[in-house]
Amino acid sequence: MDDLNSLVEKYVKKVLFTEEEIQLRVAEISERINEDYTGLEPVIIAVLKGSLYFVSDLTRQLNIPLSLDFMAIESYGPQPSSSGAVKLLKDLDQPIEGRDIIIVEDIIDTGLTLSYLIRNLKARNPRSIRVCTLLDKSVRRLVPIEITYKGFEVPDVFVVGYGLDFEQKFRNLPYIGVLDIDRAVEDFYE
Ligand code: IMP
């Protein structure tokens, strides 16, 4: 089995955001959330697994009281369907009625997953819902999503690292890199 370094050498074409750049941006976003939520106690909802490191770094720099909860979802089929229907693998532990929600995502691509999630959460009558995403691949958007906190815009490439995976690999890289998706698909699915 290839070790992580050999996988990186083979499939990661270039570093898009270094560990330092990510940490600086996360600190800036935390500062804004600290200001916007002074006196409030939001529920931070992280969407597993991709937002694992982002939510962990982000929340440790928040100086407001908060609850942390997780949702895990899976798109039906290999591609998200046009309805954005996703299967809920893990639901929230707590009710969110009347609460201020911040959804923390790793990346918003077509927006289908998140629009489903927002609809699902709105039905539980929270006081407010805002979206915080580390990466925004807005060129691929199919449904409009209002993003309040955003780390970086990314072009139409497949990115891995800092939580983002390809076939469960590359998540634990501390930086974000561009995957050679053609080569990876060819080798992994041959
Ligand atoms: P959407 O419903 O198309 O917005 O899909 C969002 C989900 O697709 C993200 O939460 C990721 O799990 C996955 N995804 C989209 N683009 C990438 C990428 O470049 N790298 C890794 N995962 C991605």
83, exposed or middle or buried, with CB in 10 Å at 0-12, 13-18, 19+?
A: exposed
Q: What confidence category does residue 1 fall into, taking pLDDT thresholds of 50, 70 and 90?
A: confident
Residue nearest to atom 17 of ligand 1 (CA): 158
Residue nearest to atom 5 of ligand 1 (CA): 109
- Return the SS3 of 153: strand
How far does CA 27 lie from the centroid of its chain?
A: 16
Alpha carbon of 108 to those of 8, 49, 111, 150, 185: distances in Å? Answer: 24, 14, 6, 10, 21
Cβ atoms of 104 and 68 closer than 8 Å: no
Q: What integer pLDDT is reported at residue 75 of this predicted model?
A: 73
Annotated active-site residue 36? The verdict is no
Domain assignment present for residue 24? The answer is yes
Name 130's bridge partners: 102
Domain assignment present for residue 112? The answer is yes
pLDDT digits (tens, 9 = 90+) for 106-154: 999 999 999 999 999 999 999 999 999 999 999 999 999 999 999 999 9
Domain assignment present for residue 43? The answer is yes
pLDDT digits (tens, 9 = 90+) for 173-187: 999 999 999 999 999
Q: How many domains does the chain have?
A: 1
- The residue to mutate among 48, 49, 74, 107, having the most atoms of ligand 1 within 8 angstroms of its beta carbon, is 107
Domain assignment present for residue 44? The answer is yes
Q: What integer pLDDT is reported at residue 58 of this predicted model?
A: 98
pLDDT mean across residues, the chain = 94
Residue 84 pLDDT > 70: no
Question: Which residue in the list 57, 109, 136, 180 is annotated as catalytic?
Answer: 109
- What lies within 8 Å, CB to CB, of 189 at 6+ separation is none
Domain assignment present for residue 188? The answer is no
- What lies within 8 Å, CB to CB, of 9 at 6+ separation is none
Segments forming the whole domain that contains residue 121 = 19-155
**Six token digits for residue 108:** 């918003």
pTM assigned to the model: 0.95
Domain assignment present for residue 178? The answer is no
For residue 134, which of 78, 35, 71, 56 has the smallest C-alpha distance? 56
Ligand 1 and 55: CB distance under 6 A: no
Domain assignment present for residue 56? The answer is yes
CATH code of the domain covering residue 115: 3.40.50.2020
Q: How far apart are CA 8 and CA 30, in angstroms?
A: 30
Domain assignment present for residue 3? The answer is no
